[in-house]
Structure 1
Amino acid sequence: MKKRKNRWLSFNNYGIQKIIMLSFTFISIICLSIVGITFYLRYVTNIKSVISKNNDLLLEQVHININSYLDNMIDISKAIYDEIYIKNSLDNVNIDNEIQILHKVNNKKVVNIGLFSKYGEAVSLSDNISLKENIDVRDNEWFIDAIKNKDKFNFSVPHIQQCFEYKNNEHIWVISISKYVQIKKNGKMIDGVILVDINFNDIEKIMSKANLGEKGYVYLANNKGDIVYHPRQQLIYYNLIEENNKKNSLLEKGVYVEDYENYERIVNVKPLDAINWTMIGITPVINMKKEYINIGIFILSILLFAISLILILNMILSYKITMPIKELEKAVKNFENGNLDFKVNIEGFLEVTYLGEVINAMLDSIKNLIESVNREHYQKRKSELDALQAQINPHFLYNTLDSIVAMIENEKYKASIDMTISLAKLFRISLSKGENIIPIKDELEHIKNYLKIQSIRYKNKFSYKINCDEEIINCATIKLTIQPLVENAIYHGVSFLDEDGMIEINVYKNEENVNIDIIDNGLGMSKECCENMLKGKVEPKGGGSGIGIKNVNDRIKLYFGDNYGIEIFSEYDVGTTVRIVIPITQIK
């Protein structure tokens, strides 16, 4: 079955150009997505239009009701106005009678009625109220509007009337309707103001019937942009929420879309016929979320079904296309990680098969080249190490032998014997059976013999001390790394002192490393000189083994890596510390 399947899906005889043609799957998905999104956006646009029309019809009914109510209130105000205008010759008692009658007939809608002179005097009041003491009605907005706009009825925003004392002690929200009028008092015509306070609750009941969805609402605003009615009026008064009433009250009749506080809203605007008020319906677009979600789910289901069919075919085809490429990727990663012991087995279309063959040939060439380079590098490194370790200065051997001869001639037999034994041990450890890596204890034994010889030669001009932690005494180090540094400490440090020269060697563990400090109390040197010595720009002169500090540093780095080597710390008239840092390594 597997062979048949592979044969059915075989791409061995096809080029990559035909495989690329199969990318129609991606183009198909893009096309389907565009069609789906276009259909969805078209639906969203249509549903916005439908909701706007439905809201307009609903607002029209509320518009009719509120207009009818306000017309009725204007008729009541006109009736009082007409009575006063026609019966100017009547005395105040007759005017009182007319006001009381009109109030009683309309007491369910009208809270109170009042007639005032331009001086703020109460000419006549309905019998349910009395004017408060120390109140000047001329300071009220309804009074000022009536005197200012003499030819029309003026409507205030909702408020609690503070000018009167009510006999039932009830203070309710009212809308004040005021109108300029001329009244006859004491035989003279004077300016006055009619006041009719209507119950705001009636307007609230009419407006509350407007239902524009879960979060939609309708509010009223006057021509100044002040809110007359709002379902969240208290929250607006206390500045807990805001409304775009100032801007929307200036709009002409129609349907608008606005972006307010990062929310898109549909705004239906209908000015009232009776007065300069505007009815504004607000429908947040988020109200349509359920409709959007339903149609979105439907469109998405169709798209997912179509895309699933395309993806099944695409997965089968892409598997055959990508598998050979993934094999090549694995081969490149193996090569990147330094693994060259593998062969690329590629079965696929022609181009990938050819690339696999090229990679295999390249791997063979690289392996051969690396082997050749490694052989050359090994021989070169071995030659360098051998040459460095062979640089024992013959002057040291000559001077040591000359010192031994002089001691024998002076019959200092014991000293000459000690010096000869130290020299023999020195060379025995130097040879170390041809091993380049020796234990730290052997290297210290070697330097102990060396210091003993030099101390005799320099006639005890300096003393020395060697300290080593027992736990690292058997760890590995490179042969002949300490001696060249001690030589430099002698020839260029303590040899210039008249007496009390001191060389101290401390070997200790520092975390995962071994530190070997060679300390002398010689003349010291500058920081620049220390850096130049490590770079090989300054080599010791006038003595020493000839194995410079740079060479020792290079040997350490060559064997242990660039993280290890030599550090130099020095100060004039204090001395110098040369520190060898090597890893803790056990002798194999």
Structure 2
Amino acid sequence: MLTKKLNRFNTLRNQILTVFLFVMTVVLLFVGVTTFHVVSTLLKNNAEEQIEQTVTQANGRLEALYKQLDGLTNQITTNMYVQQMLLKEVNGDYLGFRERQNLQQLVNSFQTYSDGIQSFELYTSNYKRVFPLDEIDLVNRLGIHWVKQAEEAKGKMVWIGRDPKSPHFFVVLRQIRLMDRWFSPGGYLLVRINPEYFQFTDFITSKTKKQGYMLVADRDLTPIFSNFVGDSKEILHAQQRTVQQNGEEYIVVKQTSPLTGWVLMIVTPVSALTDGVAILKNTILFSGAIGFLIFFIFSLFLSTMVTQPILKLTKAMQRGKDGELRPSPPISSTVEINELNDTYNALVENINHLIQVVYEKELVRSRAELKALQAQINPHFLFNTLDALYWSLVEKEEEELAQVVLNMSELFRYTVSNSKQDEWVTLYEEIEHIRRYMEIMKLRWGDRLLWNIVIPASCFDIRIPKLLIQPLVENAVLHGIGNKTDLGIVWVTVEDCHESSDIVIKVADDGYGMDEQTKEKVNELLNNKEVSSAKGSGMALVNVNKRLQLYYGEERKLVIHSELGQGTVVLLKIPKSGEE
């Protein structure tokens, strides 16, 4: 059962369809996988480049905020009123309450120009606080370490980081240099900054269009700002470009500011970078499915178009198996299919022709056997009678008549033998049969009949169909010589064509010959392919011609030359090899 199903599937159409679909599937998979890999890599690289550009821009913005803070503190420290008040303090003139209030109002007025400033604190050169109005000194406020750094910076802003007293805020410190006293130390300005001052995640989101996180850390990798929900320390100390946290992979792009030494990082989930990859994958799958469907329909149409003519030709061949050999109608297809169809039609035509030839040959043979059977009515009685007659004539010393009776007996034996092995005889045996026939005819025609037989000894053993030549001789005697009142001669000549593989047999007479009308009639009979059973003049020629073509092929035929008053010559060529 399984074998039958497999055989039913194992058709040329299904094989072509399967091969086409297999090739298309391989091509679609290769193109799809390659496209997905290339485009996804390109999308990821473009996203990373965009993030790097964003980091650069964010770092520039961060430096701009730092410069803004530096410029603000510089304005305060170089303000003339601030310089005068601190110079007065250095000269030993202590500031009164009112002067401190005015100084605080002036400094705080700068706070309106920057949203991220929480407060300002002003200290004298000996670390005493001018405002806010309390007695805490700068060393206790920050520690001597940061004070020394501010002094070493010589008027430049120093980033301290988290406020020791209030870690929620950041602190910067700047030493004030007195311009009217050769830029000698005159005090210190401390600025408390809100963390929101450095917060610009909306900028990151608008630039990257991705779900990104930003981390800003100072030189010591102390976080200044971070909106990352995970462990920011691991991110800050990561050496690789990608990190894993909570089962999710992140890409880390960082840049160090040459101005501040701060490190700015943008952390983006890999899944956010590959949002378009999922759409790309679905698009490729959908396009591949559509392409596969279109190619399936095309392959089905093409395989059907290729195999349909072959199926028609196969059905025509299957009808031939049932005995119905008919040509296949013309097919409008490829050159190869048309050539195959034409070859099959030619083969059918040849087979039908061979069937017709074999049929006609068997018909002729059947008729010959029927005639032989009819002639074999008690043949032993006939031969015994002729034998008794022969010996009776010998006893009466009628030698001539006895020879005639003997010739008749041999002639009958030669003619009525119908065994298949006697269907072919040697040329010598056929010529001997003709001699006996002519001897009998001599009894009838007397001295009016002469004959001449010429055959090379090399042709004696060539095998020919029995009674192939004798009917021609009989026709020459009856229709050629029989109408004459004077002497008539019959010639039987066998010529060995050494330059070819044929021999030429010629039967000629010097009778009256044939007029044009008779020749046309005879030629028409010879060219008629139907098997004739008619009797009369010319039928011997027709039967011999038909047997010649049946045994040796249609290219073999009798050639007749005849002129009125000049006799008739009948030529036939047969191969030296004998049976074909």
TM-score interval for Structure 1 and Structure 2 normalised by the shorter chain: 0.3 to 0.5
Greater share of helix: 2
Instruction: State which structure, 1 or 2, has the greater radius of gyration over its C-alpha atoms.
Output: 2
TM-score if structure 1 supplies the norm length? 0.34
TM-score if structure 2 supplies the norm length? 0.34
